[in-house]
Amino acid sequence: MYKLTGVTRTYRKGGKTVDALAGVDVVIGDREWLAIQGPTGHGKTTLLQLLGGLDRPTSGTILFDGKNLGEMTEAEITRVRATSIGFIFQTFNLIPTLPAAVNVELALAPLRLDAAERRAQVARALDAVGLTDRAGHLPAELSGGQQQRVGIARALVKDPAVLLADEPTGNLDETTRDEIIDLLAQLVRDRGLTLVMVTHDSTVAARAERIGQMRDGRLLFDGAPVTGGDRQP
C-alpha cells in the first residue's frame, strides 16, 4: 500500500529548523494493521499527515499504490484523500453544528454520487458503527465513544483503502477504548482495510500486527511488541 524511502520533513520556525521526520523508510502492506508508538514530539502526527496527503515531504518519496504522493498536483492529492483515505482523529473533529448523519455525509460531498446512493451509504455506515438511532443527534448530544463512532463512520463511508488514526482512543475511558478498538479491528478485517494507528497506549498497540517506534523522527522496528514505558498521562 505504502512505500516510504528516506522521507524527511523539516519545519522552519523563526530562525531554527526542526527535523520532525529525519529519514523514514518503511513498507506498509495491503490490509496491514500498523501501530506507531513513541513519545510526544517525535514525529508521529507528521508521519500520518504525509501518509494522508495533508502535507508533503521535504525530501524522500512516498509511494501510495505505486504513485508518488509528493509529486501529485493539489487536485490529484485532494482526490486521493476524497476517495482512498479515511482519517480518524483523537478529538473526533465532528462539525458541532451538524447532526451525526450530515457529518458522515460530508465525506461523500466530493464524490459523484446521487442523493439516494449517498443517503444509503450514510445509513449503512451508521449501522456498521451501531448508531442508526443517533443519526439526528448533534455531536454535543453524544458521548465521547459515540462521537468517535461517528468519526469512524465518516472515515469508512467512502469505502477507502486506508484508515489513518491519530490517537483514536486518546480521549476515551478504558471501557470505551476497548469497544472502539474492537469495532475498528472488526471493520478493518471485514473490509480488508490498511490501518495505520498512532497510539500512546500499549494495550491498543498490542492489537496491531506490527508496532513501530517513532524516535527523533525515525521509525524503528525491533520485532517484538513494546510494552510500557511510553504511556502518557
Ligand X SMILES: Nc1ncnc2c1ncn2[C@@H]1O[C@H](COP(=O)(O)OP(=O)(O)O)[C@@H](O)[C@H]1O
Site for other proteins contains 38 (CB under 8 A): no
Q: Does 107 bind other proteins (CB under 8 A)?
A: yes
Question: Rounded to an integer, what distance in angstroms lies between the CA atom of residue 223 and that of residue 214?
Answer: 14
Confirm or reject binding of residue 3 to other proteins (CB under 8 A): no
Residue 162 pairs with which residues in a beta bridge? 85, 194
Indicate whether 163 belongs to the interface with other proteins (CB under 8 A).
no
**Those residues with Cβ within 8 angstroms of residue 51's Cβ, 6 or more apart along the chain or in another chain:** 2, 62, 64, 85, 162, 164, 196
Least separation in angstroms between CB 49 and ligand X: 8
Give the Cα-Cα-Cα angle 94, 57, 210 (nearest 5 degrees): 70
DSSP 8-state code for residue 91? T
Query: CB-wise, 45 or 148, nearer to ligand X?
Result: 45
Contact between 157 and 127 under an 8 Å Cβ cutoff? The reply is no
Site for ligand X in 65-104 (CB under 6 A): none
In the complex with other proteins, which residue's Cβ is closer, 48 or 142? 48
**Chosen from ligand X, other proteins, Mg ion, none, partner binding at 130 (C-beta under 5 to 8 Å by type):** none
CB atoms within 10 A of CB 209: 11
Q: Enumerate binding residues for other proteins (CB under 8 A).
A: 45, 48-49, 52, 54-55, 74-75, 78-83, 85, 87, 89, 91, 93, 95-99, 102, 105-107, 109-110, 112-115, 118, 138, 154, 158, 166
